[in-house]
Chain A
């Protein structure tokens, strides 16, 4: 009853047999040992399971495992390129990380936002992140971190 899927996770091709009744989140966490994406609710309401699928942030807890066949997935583990991603640095430096449970999902959404729009307004940042709940920070420092990261990326491009 398991069925084969092939997909790319964090740049690495993967060929797996998955149970159709499992989700992409189950596959990432249990089959691939990528524990960065979290299960905060399992109902697509908290955003802790957010990964980038074919360039777009999605709730991996609502994607059936076989649907990942042929897709390109990036998880929080795939962001760092030798050294941490600028978004990861900005989150840490700005104090946007408290308990950290929302952080991987939050960072994935934030990165996807900057991929789509390099200089989002504060309102656009807040709107984009509204599917990622955080109960610790009140979001202020998270929004600041995204702004700081956007500025740095812009500056690096300019330089």
Chain B
């Protein structure tokens, strides 16, 4: 439970950070909030020779909601996101999901970039961000690169980031039509638990406010990585809310068909599927009803 010695450096800017990280290669780790990394180091699951802290790069914590592109700095903490008034208006599903991460203490330290980079299949920020078609702006000594979140995860705890490449910010396109979203999380306690199944449902109406222009379903803890359920989404797109509401049971089955959860001590695969199906129905019902009521 003691951390092995390592070299520590607090980078003063982004360029310096990625330079150092790329020099050390796989032996270096970027430190954001540290709630995952420090624990992994205590468990000796990660033994970096060098840790580059990003916390001095304050611009990486900025949240900018002014334009059509909502920009969330990778170092924004879950607490900051959950309490952000503009985000609550535009993408409430994200605020709601990150407010369910860990404890208050954890949310005060842990960052959205860290949550994504840690790449837990059950990461609570991933399912709603997938449903919001988020793009990650990454940076490395060779420059910036935009990566759709949908192609970011490569397996449990794994991403396509290479050494020296870090997440700089997360971009979400501001919904054009009226939109609504809901995230439901299966926990074993009423708070402070990993998600055993997380279901994000985000829907957006066309400019006329009649048909569903966009439907997105993000799932956490239901596959080796957070995933979308495109077939299920396709069943709802173009429908009116009233039509969509009727189709919920069959879409729910399509949602489950997209999943491949595991059995572990937290929950069985069968139970995860059962609950994911029920959660999808509940989330879709709520979202579609609210859009109808609009």
Contacts and interface: CB of A to CB of B under 8 A. Distances in A.
B75 to A, nearest CB: 12
A3 interface: yes
Interface stretch (A41-49, A85-93, A136-144): A41-49
Q: Report the interface size class on chain A.
A: 20 to 34
B74 to A, nearest CB: 16
A131 B104 contact: yes
B54 to A, nearest CB: 10
Q: Which of A22, A44, A45, A127 has the most CB of B within 10 A?
A: A44
Contacts of B39: 43-44, 62
A56 interface: yes
A76 interface: no
A1 B49 CA distance: 13
Interface stretch (A6-14, A27-35, A63-71, A149-157): A63-71
Nearest to A130: B191
B1 to A, nearest CB: 5
Contact of A67 (B2, B4, B6, B31): B31
A8 to B, nearest CB: 17
A100 interface: no
B190 A64 contact: no
Nearest to A128: B104
B202 to A, nearest CB: 25
A59 B55 contact: no
Interface in B169-227: 190-192
A64 B8 CA distance: 10
B60 to A, nearest CB: 15
A19 B103 CA distance: 27
A147 interface: no
B51 interface: yes
Given A64-B34, A64-B38, A56 B108 contact: yes
Interface string B104-126: 11101100000000000000000
Contact of A62 (B5, B38, B191, B192): B38
A46 B38 CA distance: 16
Interface in A112-144: 127-128, 130-132
Interface of A: 1, 3, 19-23, 42-45, 47, 50, 53, 56-59, 62-64, 66-67, 69, 109, 127-128, 130-132
Given A20-B8, A64-B53, 10 more contacts: A21-B3, A44-B35, A44-B105, A44-B106, A50-B105, A59-B106, A63-B109, A64-B31, A130-B104, A131-B104
9 contacts: A23-B3, A44-B35, A44-B105, A45-B192, A53-B108, A59-B109, A62-B109, A128-B104, A130-B103
